[in-house]
Amino acid sequence: MIKDEIENKLNDDLNPWFLEVVNESPNHNVPDGAESHFKIIIVSEKFIDFRAVKRHQLIYSILNEEMKKIHAVAIHPFTPEEWKEKTGENLDSPKCLGGGND
Amino acid sequence: MSTEERIKKQISDNSILLFMKGSPDKPQCGFSQRATQILMACGKEFSFVDILSNQDIRETLPSISNWPTFPQLFINGELIGGSDIMMDMYQSGEMQKVIDEATEESSD
């Protein structure tokens, strides 16, 4: 699945606080089960100091292989601070550091 | 002139330039349509290149701009982005500002 590839690569490279990859292909004139159109909502600290065009270019470069297979991707990148302003949702909570596994 | 030289000349000769699918009158893709609507709403003249009738530009531009999809908006020689960025900038009022500044500079 291209969706899984996209999620894995973005998780690996951008360490997102929040990531949602939506296959929007059914909204378009494509065969059932197609993976042609995607929407990506991603919140990452890596976007701090990057303006919009650079954030998109960063994601395009990470998804270089996938971009050859899909028709369109809508990208919505935010920093945690911007996400908080937009949604009121504060992602700034302490992450689990896996201490329970000790 | 090579395709790359042609593209660079187009970008430097036109202060507001949209590479799109189709034309502003007859856009051939919803994203290109949205981009032209935003530029028209800003009320200034802009130039466009139809990449569907210029396949060489369609193939070459993404490697020059480091941007794989269309539309692509350039203002004063710099890539602004695609339709998502244009919409965000339009809604925040930044697009109008950037366009007004670009047209003021070019009329000096």
Tell me what pLDDT residue A62 has. 95
A23 beta partners:
A38
- A20's CB contacts (< 8 A; 6+ apart) are A39, A40, A41, A42
Peptide bond before A31: cis, by omega within 30 degrees of 0? Answer: no
CB contact under 8 A, B67 and A61: no
What is the overall mean pLDDT for chain B?
A: 94
Answer for the pair B27, B20: CB distance below 8 angstroms, yes or no. yes
Provide, as residue numbers in chain B, all residues whose Cβ is less than 8 Å from the Cβ of A72. Answer: 31, 69
What is the overall mean pLDDT for chain A?
A: 87
Tell me what pLDDT residue B15 has. 96
Residue of B nearest to A39 (CA): B84
Confidence class for position A95, pLDDT limits 50, 70, 90: low
Tell me what pLDDT residue A31 has. 80
DSSP one-letter string for A7-62: HHHHHHHH--SEEEEEE-GGGSSS-TT---EEEEEEE-GGGTT--HHHHHHHHHHH
Domains along the sequence of chain A with CATH: 2-81 (3.30.300.90)
| CA gap A83, A80 in Å, rounded | 5
Q: What percent of chain A has pLDDT over 90?
A: 57
Tell me what pLDDT residue A99 has. 65
Tell me what pLDDT residue A55 has. 95
Residue of B nearest to A71 (CA): B69
Confidence class for position A101, pLDDT limits 50, 70, 90: low
CB contact under 8 A, B67 and A57: yes
CB contact under 8 A, B81 and A67: no
CA neighbours within 13 Å on the CB side: how many for A88?
A: 0
Suggest the residue from B58, B59, B85 to mutate for an interface test with chain A (most A CBs closer than 10 A).
B85
Bigger pLDDT: A96 or A4?
A: A4
Locate A76 and state its tokens: 């919505």
Residue of B nearest to A63 (CA): B68
Tens of pLDDT, residues B37-72: 999 999 999 999 999 999 999 999 999 999 999 999
Compare CB distances from B81 to A53, A72, A73 and report the shortest one's residue. A53
ipTM (interface predicted TM): 0.70
**Which pTM value belongs to this model?**
0.78
Q: How does strand B47-50 pair with strand A18-23?
A: unpaired
B74 beta partners:
B17, B79
Tens of pLDDT, residues A18-49: 999 999 988 877 788 888 889 999 999 999 99
For the cut 70, the answer to whether the pLDDT of residue B76 exceeds it is yes
In total, the C-beta contacts within 8 angstroms joining chain A to chain B are 28
| Burial profile B57-69: b = 16 or more Cβ within 10 angstroms, e = fewer | bbebbbeebebbb
Provide, as residue numbers in chain B, all residues whose Cβ is less than 8 Å from the Cβ of A74. Answer: 84
Provide, as residue numbers in chain A, all residues whose Cβ is less than 8 Å from the Cβ of B82. Answer: 56
Bigger pLDDT: A47 or A94?
A: A47
**What burial class does residue B73 get, using C-beta atoms within 10 Å of its C-beta: 0-12 exposed, 13-18 middle, 19+ buried?**
buried
